[in-house]
Amino acid sequence: MDEPKILLSLEGIVKEFSSVRVLDRVSFNIREGEIMGLIGENGAGKSTLMKILSGIYQKTEGTIRMDGQLTNIPDYITAKRLGIGIVPQEFNLINYLTVFENIFLGNEIHKGLLLDKSKMREQAKAQLEILKMPLDVNKYISELSVAEKQMVEIAKAMILDTRVLIFDEPTTTLTPVEVRTLFSLMRKLKEKKVTMLFVSHKLQEVMNICDRVTVLRDGKLVSVDEVANLDANILAKKMVGRDFSQVFPPKKDRRAEEYVLEVENLSSGNMVKDVSFSLHRGEILGFAGLVGSGRTETMEAVMGLRKLESGEIRIKGKPVRIRNAKDAVSHGLGYISEDRQGKGIVMNYDIIKNISLISLKDKYMKGFLIDKKAETAASDHYIDEFNIVAASAKSELRFFSGGNQQKVYLARWMDTDPEILILDEPTRGIDINAKREIYEFIHRLSEARISCIIISSEMEEIIGMCNRAYVMREGKIASCLNEDQITEENIVFNATGIKKGVEKDG
Ligand SMILES: Nc1ncnc2c1ncn2[C@@H]1O[C@H](COP(=O)(O)OP(=O)(O)O)[C@@H](O)[C@H]1O
Ligand SMILES: [Mg+2]
């Protein structure tokens, strides 16, 4: 049998962002014509490595060889000339330009001093036909669906003679049908001898489409294996470096008799119907249910972010009126929204400004001036307490991993000194290590007699963390489960009304 030909070889790749090392001496080879999976938790360094290969970032150290030759990839255009194209995780398309203009962005065809639009239009059309993509080249990007935008990115990456095509988490925003279309396209490209790198953190997908898989963890290479020699369990272990069972700290019941929050007959719109619940001091209380069952809306109503039609809210036994978030904060309520990037952190603010966003007026004003020293000291304290990985307190949040963003968001609310913290999907989209840290943090809160409500669609999380759990269904409380009653079966049954196993016969 012939030795497979090595197309790309990475040796000792290091990447540092202001002296924080995010890739640490990564070395592996990519064979001509293979689909190589690249898998790892959020923040493992996958995108960074792919950006280095496609000329978007520059490596700090290490060498790249292509066809055995030392190769420099100083920018994106050079990468394309070398035959390396990328379909990035965040699309890079210009909304007010057409499909064909985007496909040729940075590689425009000229006729004298002018753009040769008709030639570009023609070639873009031909390219889309080769890829069997049903897209009108004259449409504007703003008119396209996510899957269509991805098609444009693929066509754009393929427009020069592409030998290596990188897909960075291409399936995250696609429906199952669209994923299948993408995979069949990848198989067709493989027949045409295109080498592909497929970045994902979904094990099943990688097992499905790839020939080999490289695992990255914390910026380091863990392994390179043939898919045939792997199963999802082995892969999961390599990815997180430990068993899943160690994720949750041991459960403790630190509930006091006393209630800090009582909600009675709350109704708001058609998502919150006659909801009643209560929260003990020091309790970790779960809210389980399907997406869309009204959990978020219930908490938004409690926080004064939604109009109430009826209901009473009592804090430490006293009825209160909460008309807006400010009222909620003054009653000791804090709320970590599930929409971290939309309703939470400010991406182009640094850590300091993100943390003091709510507490600024109460804590950091000296007359008309901000007490920068106190504000910075507070940030430094939280960076330390939450183990936030950042070059400095002045780093902007957009450069952070999901886990670090979430920690900053938590720090902001801690800075308001809450007695009740409501966390909506607190660990969504963050890596396993940050998850564990957040779970430990919630335990520390309960130790400090602060009460927590966790809304989660991950049953594991409710089961692993909570003393009690309400299950919501269609805007109503379906049941309240206590300690040992918090099981997968009970949650599923109450969330759906369907007994497990009953929906399928046999
Ligand atoms: N431009 C940047 N500036 C600073 N840090 C960055 C930048 N890009 C990525 N990082 C950091 O590098 C680490 C790896 O990120 P990334 O490569 O995006 O991970 P993955 O794609 O595996 O989820 C993260 O901690 C992230 O915050
Ligand atoms: Mg990524």
Please tell me the distance between residue 284's alpha carbon and the centre of ligand 2 in angstroms.
32
Torsion 128-129-134-137 (CA) sign: positive
Q: What is the pLDDT of residues 320-341, one digit of tens each?
A: 999 999 999 999 999 999 888 8
Tokens for 115? Answer: 């753009």
Per the CB < 8 A criterion, the answer to whether 480 and 468 are in contact is: yes
The pLDDT of residue 505 is 34
Torsion 84-85-87-88 (CA) sign: positive
- Is 195's C-beta closer than 6 angstroms to any atom of ligand 1? no
- Is 16's C-beta closer than 6 angstroms to any atom of ligand 1? no
State which residues have CB under 5 angstroms from ligand 2, the bound ion.
47, 89
Interatomic CA distance for residues 243 and 241, integer angstroms: 7
The pLDDT of residue 179 is 86
Residues 465-491 as b or e (16 or more Cβ within 10 Å = b): bbbbbbbbbebbbbbbbeeeebeeebb
Torsion 286-289-295-296 (CA) sign: positive
Tokens for 412? Answer: 């902001």
- The CATH number that domain 6-242 falls under is 3.40.50.300
Residues 248-285 as b or e (16 or more Cβ within 10 Å = b): beeeeebbeeebbbbbeebbbeebbbebebbbbbbbbb
Q: Which of 82-86, 89-93, 306-310, 483-487 has the lowest mean pLDDT?
A: 89-93
- The residues near 276 (Cβ < 8 Å, ≥ 6 apart) are 263, 264, 265, 266, 477
The pLDDT of residue 246 is 65
- Is 359's C-beta closer than 6 angstroms to any atom of ligand 1? no
Question: Which percentage of the chain shows pLDDT scores above 90?
Answer: 69
Q: What is the pLDDT of residues 44-69, one digit of tens each?
A: 899 999 999 999 999 999 999 999 99
**How large is the angle between the packed helices 146-158 and 176-191, nearest 10 degrees?**
10
Residue with tokens 């952190």: 345
Which atom of ligand 1 sits closest to the CA of residue 49? 17
The pLDDT of residue 191 is 93
Which atom of ligand 1 sits closest to the CA of residue 168? 21
Query: Which residue lies with its CA nearest to atom 6 of ligand 1?
Result: 399
Q: What is the pLDDT of residues 435-488, one digit of tens each?
A: 889 999 999 999 999 999 999 988 889 999 999 999 999 999 999 999 999 998
Please tell me the distance between residue 89's alpha carbon and the centre of ligand 2 in angstroms.
6
Q: What is the pLDDT of residues 359-370, one digit of tens each?
A: 998 999 988 899
Residue 245 has pLDDT above 60, yes or no: no
Please tell me the distance between residue 120's alpha carbon and the centre of ligand 2 in angstroms.
31
Q: Residue 405 to residues 199, 409, 423, 431: CA-CA distances in angstroms?
A: 22, 6, 14, 11
The pLDDT of residue 506 is 30
Q: What is the pLDDT of residues 261-280, one digit of tens each?
A: 999 999 999 999 999 999 99
The pLDDT of residue 504 is 36
Interatomic CA distance for residues 256 and 456, integer angstroms: 23
In the chain, residues under CATH classification 3.40.50.300 are: 6-242, 256-332+420-442+450-499
- Is 45's C-beta closer than 6 angstroms to any atom of ligand 1? yes
Per the CB < 8 A criterion, the answer to whether 63 and 11 are in contact is: yes
Interatomic CA distance for residues 379 and 248, integer angstroms: 27
End-to-end CA distance of the chain: 47
Pick from 15, 240, 350, 401 the residue to mutate for probing ligand 1's pocket: most ligand atoms within 8 Å of its CB.
Answer: 401
For the beta sheet containing 318-320, the strands, ordered from the edge strand earlier in sequence to the opposite edge, are 272-280, 259-268, 310-315, 318-320
* Mean confidence (pLDDT) of the chain: 91
Please tell me the distance between residue 52's alpha carbon and the centre of ligand 2 in angstroms.
13
Please tell me the distance between residue 486's alpha carbon and the centre of ligand 2 in angstroms.
34
The pLDDT of residue 240 is 76
Which atom of ligand 1 sits closest to the CA of residue 199? 21
DSSP code at position 483:
G
- Is 403's C-beta closer than 6 angstroms to any atom of ligand 1? no
Residue 382 parent element (H or E): helix 372-385
The CATH homologous superfamily to which domain 256-332+420-442+450-499 belongs is P-loop containing nucleotide triphosphate hydrolases (3.40.50.300)
Tokens for 275? Answer: 């909801």
Q: How many CB atoms lie within 10 A of CB 360?
A: 15
Q: How many CB atoms lie within 10 A of CB 177?
A: 9
The pLDDT of residue 467 is 94
Label residue 1 by pLDDT band (50, 70, 90). Answer: low
- Is 313's C-beta closer than 6 angstroms to any atom of ligand 1? no
Label residue 502 by pLDDT band (50, 70, 90). Answer: very low
